[in-house]
């Protein structure tokens, strides 16, 4: 059973990571990763607010200077849970924004019939969503492997 | 050197208790969580930042270098700790302790080494952002002296170790550049890089 301290830490990291990811995506034009695509500047401002609010919440809701022999987390445990919580926030963001931006993401500019590989990298998420991009990649892999088999 | 160290601790620690606002700020700054989480969030943000693939790739190398540097810094601190042990200031001096009482060696400041290990690769690519992280790491160190758990020379030692770890990490990433190139290419294929 995780301690209340650990749960608070996980929540703080989760919310902050989501905020930082929104900020970076808005600044880099990755519209397919944004919760609110139309207002990138507002998203950036809200992200800064969220990151600050999460930190304030964490520090005012309990005594955080705890030894790692007691309620606190030692450096390795902290790193592990940071990675877990941050990964959870990244995955949640990619899934949620794929659902929110689903219709918009259909016009991704890649011709499924062209036979060419879909664009690589996060840059394509400026034109589509994570799910559409993954779907395009899988359908291309399937097509190219079935062509190889038929040859 | 020891005399100067002790005088500085007594002076900085002596400021404590005069202002509730300063005490509260230091209470947050000294925490094991604020600085590492903020610095790690910067590394994470850099991973997604960049207006082109080339720019983002460079930022992702900074994230990787920072992560490896933290590992190197911890390893170097472990080696130094195995060679020497220094009592904490609150053990030897008549000062107020504004933090829990750590039992490991005072020198070098492990936390500060991690802060500088992350700040250095960021500074090498983004001067302003890296400068902010250096400031954060330095304030973290100052707060630890204020709290009575480190001498100033521990902070200096931690900073030097952090910078050395970051430079080693940057060198390693440059030397083995083909590995991140291939790994990041795989990440790009699944749209996480």
Taking contacts as CB-CB distances below 8 angstroms, the residues of chain A near B185 are: 120
The pLDDT tens digits for B8-29 are 999 999 999 899 999 999 999 9
**Six-digit token string for B56:** 């983002």
The pLDDT tens digits for A96-136 are 999 999 999 998 888 877 778 999 999 999 999 999 999 99
Cβ atoms A121, B188 nearer than 8 A: yes
The fraction of chain B above a pLDDT of 70, given in percent, is: 100
- DSSP 8-state assignment for residue A83: H
CA B80: distance to chain centroid? 16
Q: Is the pLDDT of residue B54 over 70?
A: yes
Closest-CA residue to B73 (of B127, B125, B119): B119
Q: Is the pLDDT of residue A70 over 90?
A: no
Classify domain B2-189 at the CATH class level. mainly alpha
Averaged over A127-146, what is the pLDDT?
93
Angle between helices B2-14 and B152-175 (to 10 degrees): 100
Q: What is the pLDDT of residue A114?
A: 79
Q: Nearest residue on chain B to A17, judged by CA atoms?
A: B41
Distance in Å, alpha carbon of B41 to nearest chain A alpha carbon: 7
Cβ pair B193:A121 closer than 8 A: yes
Taking contacts as CB-CB distances below 8 angstroms, the residues of chain B near A70 are: 100
Distances (CA, A) of A86 to A68, A69, B29, B45: 21, 25, 22, 11
Q: What is the pLDDT of residue A108?
A: 84
Mutate to test the interface with A, among B27, B37, B114, B181 (most CBs of A within 10 A): B37
Angle between helices B110-125 and B53-83 (to 10 degrees): 150
Q: What does pLDDT average to over chain A?
A: 94
Cβ pair A28:B50 closer than 8 A: yes
- DSSP 8-state assignment for residue A114: S
The fraction of chain B above a pLDDT of 90, given in percent, is: 98
pTM score of the predicted model: 0.94
Cα dihedral sign, B144-B145-B150-B153: positive
Which of A59-73, A81-95, A120-134 has the least mean pLDDT?
A: A59-73
Distance in Å, alpha carbon of A151 to nearest chain B alpha carbon: 25
CA gap A142, B146 in Å, rounded: 62
């Amino acid at each position: 059973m995780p301690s209340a301290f650990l749960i608070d830490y996980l929540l703080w990291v989760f919310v902050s990571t989501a905020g930082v990811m929104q900020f970076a995506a808005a600044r880099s034009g990755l519209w397919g990763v944004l919760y609110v695509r139309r207002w990138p500047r507002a998203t950036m401002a809200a992200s800064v607010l969220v990151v600050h609010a999460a930190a304030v919440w964490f520090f005012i809701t309990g005594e955080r200077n705890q030894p790692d022999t007691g309620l606190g987390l030692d450096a390795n445990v902290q790193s592990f849970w940071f990675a877990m919580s941050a990964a959870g926030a990244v995955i949640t963001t990619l899934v949620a924004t794929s659902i929110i931006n689903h219709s918009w993401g259909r016009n991704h500019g890649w011709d499924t019939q062209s036979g060419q590989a879909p664009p690589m990298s996060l840059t394509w998420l400026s034109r589509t969503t994570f799910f559409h991009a993954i779907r395009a990649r899988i359908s291309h892999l399937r097509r190219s492997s079935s062509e190889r088999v038929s040859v | 050197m020891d005399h100067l160290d002790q005088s500085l601790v007594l002076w900085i620690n002596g400021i404590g208790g005069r202002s509730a606002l300063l005490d509260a700020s230091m209470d947050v700054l000294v925490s094991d969580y604020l600085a590492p989480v903020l610095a790690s969030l910067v590394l994470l943000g850099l991973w997604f930042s960049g207006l082109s693939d080339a720019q983002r790739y460079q930022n992702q190398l900074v994230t990787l270098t920072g992560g490896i540097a933290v590992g190197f810094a911890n390893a170097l601190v472990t080696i130094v700790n195995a060679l020497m042990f220094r009592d904490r200031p609150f053990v030897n001096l008549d000062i107020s302790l504004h933090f829990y009482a750590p039992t490991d060696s005072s020198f070098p400041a492990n936390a500060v080494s991690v802060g500088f290990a992350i700040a250095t690769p960021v500074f090498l690519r983004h001067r302003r952002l890296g400068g902010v992280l250096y400031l954060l790491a330095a304030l973290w160190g100052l707060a630890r002296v204020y709290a009575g758990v480190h001498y100033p020379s521990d902070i200096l030692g931690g900073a030097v170790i952090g910078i050395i770890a970051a430079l080693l990490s940057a060198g390693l990433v440059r030397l083995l550049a083909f590995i991140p190139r291939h790994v990041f290419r795989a990440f790009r294929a699944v749209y996480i890089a």
